[in-house]
Chain A
Amino acid sequence: MNVPLLEIRKLAKRFPARQGREPPPWVIQDLSFSVREGEFLTIIGPSGAGKSTLLNMIAQIDVASSGEILFEGNKIGCADPKEMRPGLNRRIGYVTQDDNLLPWRTTIDNVLFPLEVQGRLDDKSRAHAETLIAAVGLKGYEKYYPHELSGGMRKRTTLIRTLVYDPPIILMDEPFGAVDAQTRMQLQEDLLRLWSLGRKTIVFVTHDITEAILLGDRTLVLSRQPARIQSEHAIPIPRPRSVKSFLTLPGFAELYERIRSEVL
């Protein structure tokens, strides 16, 4: 099995020109990479580099201007909205920057939402949801509404809401961007633990170099606009990793410095 789970070939994107104006510049151009099954891939890019646009195209909610996207070796529609199916029949999970929880549903009902719409709600899946809730320390908060939860708790709910239906690949768009530093470390720790349980394929986009190294098996650095892959780094730091001991690990400082010099 040498076929990558996800493959991006020469993807390019520019938004359509508004009437009577110059066409806007290319956001993404000639971007290619692939993701292996079970890999945690992180992508670092400056703000406004088109990271969200890239994930939107993979998630089938935005059209590409040219290029191909392959899932399990098969081309998936990415240029024609008619051929696109958001989430590719639940095979691509997507955790966005905003928490997007349904404000009228409690924590447990938010986590059960995908199972409910997929018609997979039964005792077993319910128990699975409760296990995940306990795993991120939300036990006791099942009956709370989103507005009664802290920002970090909402992020955790969002995370497990996607994990609960177990899509083969999960895209994450700076999911910990809008929280304070302490909460962010806690969330990273949670994600590392959850990942070690299931080894899902994850594409995690961030502008934070430390986060990219801490979480990933491999990291890609995007250039400024138009975004392409500027460099690629394997992250040989052994797992299990922890936010606490991380900075002192051998290899971290050197890797950080190398990536930083490319970004800045």
Chain B
Amino acid sequence: MARWRTHLDRAMVAIVILAIWQVAGMTLGVYWVSTPWLTISRFFVTLFNGELIRQSSYTVEEAFLGAVIGGVPAVVLPFVLRRSPVMVAILDPFMVGGYGAPKLALAPLFILWFGIGTESKIALVASVLFFIVYFSTLSGVRSLDTKLVQMAKLMGASEQQVARKIVFPLAVPHIFAGFRIGLPYAIGAAVIAELISSNRGLGYLVQVGAMNFDTTQCFVAILAATLIIHAVGYSVDAFEAILLRWRPPETAATGGN
């Protein structure tokens, strides 16, 4: 009942947004703001002729590789540093600085260093995701339940077994939270890096659309990026729900859908 109601309310919000968009397009002219109808029809045309999928796949590939390159060390590092709080303390100001630095401003530098190909986008995505995932994993490793660790040691668990069998499972929800927040940024970062300089990807579509005064194409690319971010979010939630089915329902039902 409540679920059904939510869906209905969502549909109504969507209709309102589309109506505002349509009115804006009609009053300002399609030249400035493309209408929902034009956008959706172009969306399907480019979807079926393969162009949209081809361009999206570049963006997704960059985001994926960047997420692996940035995300894996971000997950591993807090575990390596678990037993040396001094190292964590030494690194802390640099990590906070890295986290706070405007990564998107690094995009031109990465393009300078790695060229306008895939590498510069991957580097940007990795630099965005690394710090987000690092800090959320670190908080998971730190928030660990000392009583569980003590219990495991009493039963003869080695330091390595404690890390693998106690600390890691406890940190999993935090790691997921990091990716849940970080992955949309990662895709956004890939799009923006493409926007600045590239010859393919969704950001490139936006750039070319704007140069040709073709706002419809800009909107199609933005729509595609939004849908991808949504799909990634849903996948992370679904994966987390499977992995964390041991959690009591009150806390498991925090997914963003």
Binding site for B on A (CB under 8 A): 59, 61, 86-87, 89-90, 92-94, 96, 98, 100, 102-106, 113-114, 116-118, 145, 147, 162, 165
Contacts and interface: CB of A to CB of B under 8 A. Distances in A.
A13 to B, nearest CB: 18
Contact of B246 (A61, A92, A105): A105
A104 B169 contact: yes
B165 A147 contact: no
Contacts of B161: 117
A116 B166 CA distance: 13
A118 B148 contact: no
Contacts of A105: 246
B156 A114 contact: yes
A52 B158 CA distance: 24
The 6 A-B residue pairs with the shortest CB-CB distance, nearest first, are A87-B154, A114-B155, A117-B157, A147-B248, A104-B246, A86-B153
B233 to A, nearest CB: 23
30 contacts: A61-B153, A61-B154, A86-B153, A86-B154, A87-B153, A87-B154, A87-B155, A94-B154, A100-B147, A100-B148, A102-B166, A102-B169, A103-B247, A104-B169, A104-B244, A105-B246, A113-B152, A113-B155, A114-B156, A117-B152, A117-B158, A117-B161, A117-B165, A118-B155, A118-B156, A145-B245, A145-B246, A147-B247, A165-B155, A165-B156
Contacts of A104: 169, 244, 246-247
Interface of B: 147-148, 150-158, 161, 165-166, 169, 244-248
Contacts of A165: 155-156
Contacts of B154: 59, 61, 86-87, 92-94
A92 B154 CA distance: 8
Between B155, B157, B165, the greatest number of chain A beta carbons within 10 A of the residue's beta carbon is seen for B155
A53 to B, nearest CB: 14
What secondary structure prevails in chain A residues at the interface with B?
loop
A203 B248 CA distance: 34
A98 B148 CA distance: 10
Nearest to B166: A102
Contacts of B156: 87, 89-90, 114, 117-118, 165
A50 B214 CA distance: 77
A117 B154 CA distance: 11
A90 B157 CA distance: 9
A33 to B, nearest CB: 22
Which of B150, B154, B169 lies at the interface centre, i.e. has the most chain A CB atoms within 10 A of its CB? B154
Nearest to A86: B153
Contacts of B169: 102, 104
A160 to B, nearest CB: 13
Contacts of B247: 103-104, 147
Given A87-B154, A102-B169, 18 more contacts: A86-B153, A87-B155, A87-B156, A89-B156, A90-B155, A90-B156, A100-B151, A102-B165, A103-B247, A104-B247, A113-B165, A114-B155, A114-B156, A117-B155, A117-B157, A147-B247, A147-B248, A165-B156
Nearest to B165: A117
A183 B156 CA distance: 30
A89 B150 CA distance: 13
B151, B153, B248, most chain A CB atoms within 10 A: B151
B242 to A, nearest CB: 12
B150 A61 contact: yes
Contacts of B157: 117
Contacts of A86: 150, 153-154
A229 B241 CA distance: 52
A106 to B, nearest CB: 8
Nearest to A148: B248
Contacts of A98: 147
A92 B153 CA distance: 11
Contacts of B248: 147
Contacts of B148: 100, 102
Contacts of A118: 155-156
